Structure formats: C-alpha cells, structure tokens
Amino acid sequence: PGLRPFVLSDVQLTGTRIGSGAYGKVEEVVVPVGAAAKTIYPILQEGDATTAGLPKATQFVRKCQLMSTLRHPNIVQFLGVAFFPGSRLPALVMERLLTSLHDLLAPDPPPPSGAVTPLSLFSMALKCSVLHNVACGLAYLHERSSPVIHRDLSARNVLLDSEIVAKIADLGVARIVPHVRAAATMTKGPGASVYMPPEAFAPSRSNIEKSKYDASIDVFSLGVVTIFAIGEVFPCDPLEHNYFDEKSGVLLGRTELQRRSHYMRNVNEQLRACGQLRGDHPLIRLIQQCLHNLPSKRPGIGEVLRLLDEARAGVRDEGSERNKRELVRALQTQPRNQNLEHVFRDLVTENAHLQSRVQTKDREIARKDEESEREKQALRQELKRKEVDLAETRQQLIQKETEMTRNKAELTRKEAEVTRAEETIRREQQQIQEMRQRETELVQAKDREIALLQQQLGGKQSASYTCQVSGPGLTSATVNQPTHVLVQLTDSSGRPHSLPLNVTAQLALVSKATRTKTRWPNESRVSVATTSPSQYEVSYTPVSRGQNKLHVQINDREINGSAFTVTVYPDPRQLGHPVTVTGLDCPYGIAFKSHQEMIVSECGGHRLSIFDIREQKIRTFGSCGDSPNQMIRPAGIATDDTDNIYVSSNHKLQKFTSRGELIKCIGQEGSKEGEGE
C-alpha cells in the first residue's frame, strides 16, 4: 500500500538492457517517453543501522519517498515504480540519459586503433564542467535540511544527458543523517570498493557488516572520480596496503593518496598535455584533499566547488561547444554491446577485490581473537589470584568472628559487674536513707529538749531579745547556687543574746495562680547553723526561679519582717527548665560519673540532671530543640574516663563536658550513612 502513490501505469519494456551493477539491472522502458527502470536483486534487499528491524517493503517505500523529494538539475529524476510480468519485485523508473561517465572514459570493448572515439572529444573543459555538475549535485544532497549521503558515488553512477550535463544516479543506498558531519552506523563498504574511503571498511569484532562514517565518504568518492575523469584510466583498487622502508627497516602503511600514486601520473600527463601542469593546480589540490585518510581533514562540498570553479576558470574553452556537439553525435552513433560480458567481467573483478579485502579482515579478526585469548588467560590468572585473596579474607573474617565472640563474653561479664555495682549502690542508698531518718529523729529529740528548756526558763525571759537579719540571700538568689542569711540576736541592753533558741527556716515558691498562697518544696536545701546563742546562719540553695518566700522562725514564731521576699534568678549553667518541683520529668537513662555523681536523662523535661552521692541535685542542662546543645526526649547516656557525658537524642549523638558544655555533635535525621532515624 505504501507504494501506491509512486506506481506508474502504461510502462512498457523495450527489451534493451542498458547495464547492470552490484545492486540490480537497468533496462530501457517507455513511460510514454523514454525512461530507464532499475530492478533490485532480491538478495540485496537488505537494510542497515537506519532501517534495521523494518520489513523489506517498508525499506523500499522509504527509499522511494526519499528519491521523490529530490529535485535538482544534477540529480537523475525519479519518476516512480513499475511492476513487470514475471517479476514480483518493483522496479525504479527514472529518466533516460545518454551514457555514463564510466562508459565514456573506459568503453568496452575498446575502439579500434586510430578510430575517432568519444573519449578523444572529451576535452579538459568538458571534464571540469562534468566534475562541477557532480559537485553541485552533492552540494544539493549535503546541504538539505536533512542531509542525504549518497554512499555509492562512482563513474558508473554519473550519467550524461544530450547536453553533456552530469547527473548523479542510483540513490538506492542513500541515507538521511541529522547533519552533514554526523557519523552514522551503516552498511560497511556499501559501494564499489575502489571508490570507498578506509572508514567504510573499519573492522568491527561485534558486527563485521556495520561501520560509522559521515558525508565525507561522498567527498572521497568524488576525488577518485576526478582521478578517473582527468587521467582517463580506471583507478583499480591497489592491493598493496603497506611498504617496507629500506632506510629505517620498518614496515609502514600507505596513505590513500600513495596507494593511487600510479594513477596520479596519468593525471599529471593529461594536465601537461593541456599546458596546465603545475604543483598547485586546483585539480591536484582537490584530489589531495579529498583522498585524505582522516574524514575530518577532507574539505566540505563548498570548498570542493570553489576548487572546481578555479579549475574551470583556468581552462581554455575554445571550441568546447563544437566538441560537445561532436561528442554527443559520437555517443549517439556508438554501437551498443548486446552481450554485456564486460559488465559481468567488472563485477567479477570487483568481487575479487572484495574477497581480498574480506580475507584481510579475516586475518585481522583472527589476530584479535588471539589477543582476546591472551587477555582471557590473563583474566583467568587474575581470577585465581583473587580467589586466593578471597580465601585469605575469609580466614581473617573467621578470626574476627572468634574475637567478637570473646568480646561478647567479656561484655557479658562486664554487664554482670555493673549489675552487682548497681545492687551495691542500692544498698548504700538504703543506708543513706536510714541515716537521714536517724538524723531527723535526733533533731526532733533536740528540738523537744530545747522546748522543754524554754518552758523552764519562762516566756518572759525568752522573749527579751531583738533580731537583726542581713546577708546576700535576703532579697535575691540564683537557682542551684547556695547563699545564706545571717540572724543576730541582742538582749534588751544591746548585748549579744546568751540563751540558746530554736531557730528554723523554710523557703517557699510563690504560687503563680494566686500570688498569695505558697507551697513548701521539700527539695530546697535549707539549713541553720550557729556558733553562739546570739548568731545563726540560715543557708539555702533555691531550685525554682521566680518569687520565693524565706520564712525564719524562733521557737515556732515568725521573726519581724518574715517572710522575706527573695527573687530567684535562673542559673546561667542551667539551659533547661525544670518541669516539676523535683526537677525530674519522665526519667529514662542513668549513668554514673566516677562513682561520685549520678546523671539522669529526662525524656519529658528534654534535659540531663546531675545528683551527688547524697541524691541532691547539683545542676541540670539541656533544653527542648533540634539545635546544638538542645535535645528531644534524651534516652541513652554514658560517660568515659575523662567524665565526658554522651547522650543520644534528636536522631544524633552529643558529647558534653561534666559542666554541660557541648563538645561535639554527630549525625542528623535520615536513613543514609551517618544519619539516624
């Protein structure tokens, strides 16, 4: 169905075979005007990297679509396709031209000696004009928005019309590329080998039929066509790829230009015959640049046109029109060879060259196979060495596992020791509790003795004293910082009081709800010491910031000015805020520092609290947050030999000094290495 727009009706074969090539045969047809039809051989209906995987019919349709878009005076016009009786394959129908450049330069069979041949009328001016026509056709193909690479440019595919205007034919293997210098993977050596550059035959171990090249392949082919057209000798593909340098004794490779040096002598002779031989002749420069081994060093089609224009300008064209008319008349009257044996002879010759190249590539592949086998042997030896290393690594791993087992046993023993130490601490704490209870009983007994003594002395005598209170703790204090108040007693005569009295003191936090009621925290450490009956020192350590009331009593009676208002300021060392009166909110982890202090992690308070051996709180640090020196629900804690504290929280691990100063913070939230969840 895809061929329907291109199918021509009323196409008739005349029975005249025009020629044949490596890809198909060409026959004369009537459309109703004269035309030529090319039938592709079935065995050659194959694609390349640009059409791989497509059905053959789809590939043929794409070729027809490509040729139908080409419109240029130097491109053979594609007319359509036709189906002939006895063949299931479609034939490409194109305009009929006079002859090909190859048949003009190398007629077969050769003309009789001394006869006037069309080649003798093919002047240098006409040669330059024909080459310029070919370059214009290539420029049209290469400079399209989607450049087209011909890939099979040869003298057989350059056809001449009745005005000796050259047109490029046989675009059956042409390919569209993104841009003119884009290297595409395509069939290796698609055209005649004599016209192909070295990259078209680049060896490939994985797929010998594929290679990469760009539009410079057509420029190379044009250089070979120029040698043929100017030198008038078909440049058979030389088989000598290397040569031996007698001076250096080294086998050197030949360049493409060196391989064709024999045919360059024919070019020089033809230019000398025209009186134009010189080293910088534009045709010589054109051939040298087009046959460069590296595609990137070959000229673009614009530079090729410039050199051909320069060559045309330097050629005398006297009588060129007369030569053209005579040449056309000679071509029209030249008898055609009906048996076409020379065509098949060329194919056999070309096939021999191709087989020689294939043998060369086979030798290269065999050499690379040997290199690959050596590499495999080296890899096997390396694998054996790796296996030995792996066995040693496994043995080391077994030793590490044994060591880990011993370490686990040692850890179990250490945990048992810790359990015993905790039991010892528990018993010691119980003893401390009993000692405190005994101390309380002794104090109560002493208070009873003092009260009894006061009753014996009488209320009148005991009331004859005056109190004077002073000291830094009378109006302000700092959380967790000990302070004191001095109470001095004098009698009515102003002398120091001489009788012992029962002086007591308490510190209470003012309620934030009513500002009037007070509550009596049992953790505020308040003590009264005396060195004489006339002087008492009230010492206390506040644990709650804000407004506190200091109550001082003598014989269970408030002294003048009591209760004293004390403003308690936060401890600059304490970064958190106690949640409860006792300062413990959801205790979770516990650790000991030098068996003298106990550290407790508070999940609810987001802080750490430190107690001494008497279970008295020394200080707290930490606050709720995700910044350094802050924590959220601290859990595990530990200490080291230098009394540094380690705490895990906030998806990280923090290290503090024994005073609560941050040393280091490790980790952050996440599931990657160095992160915690």
Please state the residue numbers annotated as binding site for ATP: 38
Taking the C-alpha atoms of residue 536 and residue 487, their distance in angstroms, rounded to an integer, is 5
Taking the C-alpha atoms of residue 195 and residue 353, their distance in angstroms, rounded to an integer, is 12
CA atoms within 13 A of residue 132's CA, in its CB half-sphere: 18
- DSSP one-letter code for 204: -
Taking the C-alpha atoms of residue 606 and residue 620, their distance in angstroms, rounded to an integer, is 10
Cα-based distances in Å from 504 to 332, 479, 543, 557: 144, 21, 19, 9
Q: How far is CA 638 from the centre of its chain?
A: 43
HEC profile of 482-498:
CEEEEEEEECCCCCECC
Joined tokens for residue 244: 């031996």
Which of 10, 27, 9 shows the shortest CA–CA distance to 18?
Answer: 27
Contacts made by residues 417-421, CB under 8 angstroms, sequence distance 24+: none
Within a 10 A sphere around the Cβ of 664, how many other Cβ atoms? 11
| Residues in the annotated binding site | 38
The contacts of residue 138 (CB under 8 Å, 6+ apart) are: 150, 153, 168, 218, 219, 222, 301, 304
> Are 42 and 28 contacting, i.e. CB atoms less than 8 angstroms apart?
no
Axis-axis angle for helices 124-142, 216-231 (nearest 10): 170
Taking the C-alpha atoms of residue 129 and residue 151, their distance in angstroms, rounded to an integer, is 22
Cα-based distances in Å from 502 to 385, 473, 553: 92, 21, 8
Which of 278, 287, 295 shows the shortest CA–CA distance to 235?
Answer: 287
> Are 648 and 623 contacting, i.e. CB atoms less than 8 angstroms apart?
no
Strands, E assignment, 88-156: 91-95, 99-100, 148-149
